[in-house]
Amino acid sequence: MSFIGFINSLFVSVCDTNKDGLFIQRVDGHITRIDIFPINDKKAIIKMDDIDMGYFEEMTARGYKASFYQKYRPHIKDGLFPNESLLKAICSHPLVLFYDA
């Protein structure tokens, strides 16, 4: 499986897919749109509801397949917003190393 295929599989396992993209319904009922923008075959930007959440990068060290770099926002020290918490949960996969902002 390619790197981008692996990133897609992380989201497809928890999202609804249709012709318009990937969507997930949160506990509060809000439907979040998830967009994956491949930059090249080793890096992809993730947007949730058109907000840049950070990026995945291929990683071959220490048994990981990918690392995710969370984008810093001023409020992040006060706790995560629902989309940030959702993305962190998706990135809890054993082959993904999550870097907090």
Q: Which of 56, 67, 70, 54 is nearest to 96 (CA)?
A: 67
In single-letter form, the type of residue at position 46 comes to: I
The count of other CB atoms within 10 Å of the CB of residue 57 is 16
Q: Cα–Cα distance between 67 and 58 in angstroms, integer? A: 6
pTM of the model: 0.84
Give residue 39's domain range: 3-99
pLDDT for position 70: 86
pLDDT for position 64: 92
pLDDT for position 23: 92
Q: Pick out the chain residues at pLDDT < 70.
A: 74-79
- Split into its structural domains, the chain has a count of 1
The count of other CB atoms within 10 Å of the CB of residue 70 is 19
